[in-house]
Amino acid sequence: MPQPPDARPADTGVIHDIGYRGYTGPRLGRAYAARSLFTQSLRAAYGLGRSGKSKVLPMLVLGAVTVPAVIFVAIAVALHRDELPVEYAGYLSNLGLVISIFLASQAPVLLSRDLRYHTVPLYFSRPITRTDYVRAKFAAMACAQLLLMVAPLLVLYAGALLGGMDFAHNTGQFLYGLAAAVLYALVPTSVALVIAASTPRRGFGVAAIMGYLAVSSTVAAIAVGLSSPGTGGSDATQWTALISPNGLVEALVNEAFDLGAGFDRRHAPGGLGLVVFALVAALMVAGSYRLLLRRYRNV
Amino acid sequence: MVLAAGARYVEGVSTAVIKTEGLTKRFPRVTALDQLTVEVRPGVVGLVGANGAGKSTLIKILLGLAPATSGRGEVLGLDIATQGSEIRERVGYMPEHDCLPPDVSATEFVVHMARMAGLPATAARERTADTLRHVGLYEERYRPMGGYSTGMKQRVKLAQALVHDPKLVLLDEPTNGLDPAGRDEMLGLIRRVHTDFGISVLVTTHLLGELERTCDHLVVIDGGKLLRSSSTASFTEATAVLAVEVTDLPGDTVADPGAAVRERLAAAGLGVQSEGPHLLLVRLAGEDTYDTIRDTVAELGLGLVRLEQRRHRVAELFTDAQDAQDAQDAQNTQDDEGGTDDAAAS
């Protein structure tokens, strides 16, 4: 609230009395407080409400995942193709690295910062409980990831429909893409959050998450690539996807929705593989959630 | 100042803001709180104790953040074991440690903390502007907090504790790291939180001197046990003594003038203690005490060099407590000797 200059004392160190007004309005309680924390964290993941510098990376990543989608649409429309040059779900796995960068850089923003600057105990002096805190942060990071992936999917879908491509096919594929996006927003995110919550140092968090995600997917990718190309007998190597959250989701989605093609197609091996992969994914999310709850129990 | 503070503290009229009964907190290796039974009434109340006395543990338990091992407690009439969320909605907390993210502005941060306390967005903005002005932050509130001085950071921490207009604020070592001027301003602010804002304050510190000036009531804990809980005035008034310094008798340097004065004053029913050949400590019983001393000294024909009130500091409390037994012994010895009183024993 700006004041007229003459209302300000010459010495700003002096506290001038304008009278205290109490607050008699509504107090919206714990659920509202938890929602506020969710909103604030979601905004923080994109650098909103923080310094200008912290907006750079999230916005760059958002651009990096959306611009290729625009280009694909432009190419398809210009060449009068009746189909997009990429699958919706496949588009996400191709951009896995960029999405991992976002996750690795922003998960510590949500968790490590609060630990580093000791804001966590302050939050716990408010109506929310420790469980509320974990849920709000988890949901915020998952939603930030989801938004990042839904944006290019929407570009592809809108482009396809505007370009007069088949509605039913594109809608189906778009929904598969959405399902993949939800899984990508849950499985790798949950693991990244556990890592981020274990260190108050943002740099360590970023490096550890990026290291884990990149190394595990590279190992899994190399294992699949080394297997004899083009044959169905390389299913054994597909199990390596279990060590990589990103590979796990990609394999699960490809097998469940019968997507993907080519010799390095990642897929859960058979019906048993599908069940195991789905279970491991669920375990990763649930286990990470439990670990996070335990992490904050004694803060 | 202390007298005025005492008068504002309404004893026995309003209900307790904090009440504990046999509150005990044991950690595997230490007992942080041991059967603590205390009642805190509205006002500015100092929670005093050395480092590790259990102050922070008590605050954590009062906020419903850690369960007590045994015993029960109430804050604003709400049970600490079951109504933690409700308590935290009505109570503000200023932590001892730094808690401000450096890349966020004070406004942004305090608005967020207001919403975290349950205030709707518009109200949160209005209250933030008001509160930051009340704690003395102006244009700088739009700058990232990383560049703030310690004094400014303490103000933001206080603001976030007050922004939701709580009924009670718990301030943990609010003057930590401040220079003397900043310390005075913070103490003044704390005083205003109660007198002008009508918010009860529980303030912890291990520096006793500053609490005397600010608090109406002091709760002293040591080793998790309640040492004493009473009004600040009673801490300082009860032990008020007069220092009396007299000259030698003119032309007679051998006689002990102090002893002569002491005898006469003791006969007049005053508590007297010798501090040296010429210096006496006389317990202040009332306005008459001054007259008695003046008359006594005049009658003996001595010169009165000095007559000043020597107020005992709360800081002496801990030494007193530790030396309570010694003091008692000393007093007994003195009683045996000549019915004098140990002015320091309280």
- Say if residue B187 is in the same domain as residue B246: no
- The residue of chain A with its CA nearest to that of B158 is A122
Range of the structural domain that residue B50 is part of: 2-235
Domain end marker among B188, B204, B235: B235
So what's the pLDDT on residue B312?
A: 55
Helix B121-134 to helix B106-116 angle (10° resolution) is 130
So what's the pLDDT on residue A16?
A: 55
Domain end marker among B203, B235, B267: B235
- Tell whether B330 is covered by a domain: yes
pTM comes to 0.79
Q: How far is CA B4 from the centre of its chain?
A: 15
- Say if residue B209 is in the same domain as residue B259: no
- A8 contact residues in B (CB cutoff 8 A): 138
- B80 contact residues in A (CB cutoff 8 A): none
- Tell whether B231 is covered by a domain: yes
When pLDDT is cut at 50, 70 and 90, the band that residue A8 belongs to is very low
- Tell whether B344 is covered by a domain: no
Q: CB under 8 Å, gap of 24 or more: what pairs does B144-148 form?
A: B144/A51, B144/B102, B144/B103, B144/B104, B144/B105, B145/B100, B145/B101, B145/B102, B145/B104, B145/B105, B145/B106, B145/B109, B146/B102, B146/B103, B147/B102, B148/B100, B148/B106
Distance from CA of A64 to the nearest CA of B (A): 25
Interchain CB distance below 8 Å, B103 and A125: no
- A132 contact residues in B (CB cutoff 8 A): none
Please, are residues B162 and B197 in contact by the beta-carbon 8 Å criterion? yes
- Tell whether B346 is covered by a domain: no
Nearest-CB residue to B118 (from A1, A119, A127):
A127
- Distance CA(B94)–CA(B186), nearest Å, equals 13
- Tell whether B164 is covered by a domain: yes
- Tell whether B253 is covered by a domain: yes
- Say if residue B41 is in the same domain as residue B53: yes
Q: Does A37 touch chain B (CB under 8 A)?
A: yes
Position B118 pLDDT exceeds 50? yes
Helix A270-297 to helix A245-257 angle (10° resolution) is 140
CATH code, domain with B125: 3.40.50.300
Nearest-CB residue to B63 (from A32, A40, A125):
A125
So what's the pLDDT on residue B330?
A: 46
- Say if residue B147 is in the same domain as residue B269: no
When pLDDT is cut at 50, 70 and 90, the band that residue A13 belongs to is low
Give the full edge-to-edge strand order of the sheet including B70-75. B31-40, B18-26, B70-75, B78-79
Task: Find the Cα–Cα–Cα–Cα dihedral B262, B264, B266, B268, rounded to 10°.
Answer: -150
So what's the pLDDT on residue B253?
A: 63
Distance from CA of B50 to the nearest CA of A (A): 22
- Say if residue B277 is in the same domain as residue B202: no
So what's the pLDDT on residue A282?
A: 96
Q: Which residue has the tokens 């290729």?
A: A68
Distance from CA of A19 to the nearest CA of B (A): 7
Interchain CB distance below 8 Å, A127 and B113: no
So what's the pLDDT on residue A17?
A: 55
Position B340 pLDDT exceeds 60? no
When pLDDT is cut at 50, 70 and 90, the band that residue B319 belongs to is low
Give the pLDDT mean for B122-141. Answer: 94
- Say if residue B164 is in the same domain as residue B192: yes
- Say if residue B229 is in the same domain as residue B252: no
Higher-pLDDT residue of B284, B229: B229
- Say if residue B255 is in the same domain as residue B136: no
- Say if residue B166 is in the same domain as residue B313: no
- Percent of the residues in chain B that have a pLDDT greater than 90, as a whole number: 41
- Tell whether B345 is covered by a domain: no
- Say if residue B122 is in the same domain as residue B72: yes
Interchain CB distance below 8 Å, A118 and B65: no
When pLDDT is cut at 50, 70 and 90, the band that residue B344 belongs to is very low
- Tell whether B189 is covered by a domain: yes
Distance from CA of A22 to the nearest CA of B (A): 6
* B169 membership: H or E segment, kind and range: strand B168-172
Q: Which two tokens stand for residue A68?
A: 């290729």
So what's the pLDDT on residue B342?
A: 39
Q: What's the structural domain count of chain B?
A: 2
CATH code, domain with B279: 3.30.70.1150
CA distance to A88, A253, A269, B279, B308, per residue, from B259 (Å)? 102, 100, 104, 10, 19
- Say if residue B180 is in the same domain as residue B306: no
- Say if residue B183 is in the same domain as residue B268: no
pLDDT tens digits, residue range B270-299? Answer: 878 777 777 888 877 777 888 888 888 888
Give the pLDDT mean for A108-124. Answer: 93
Nearest-CB residue to B197 (from A20, A119, A129):
A20
Q: Are strands B217-222 and B225-231 parallel, antiparallel or unpaired?
A: antiparallel
Domain end marker among B210, B235, B260: B235
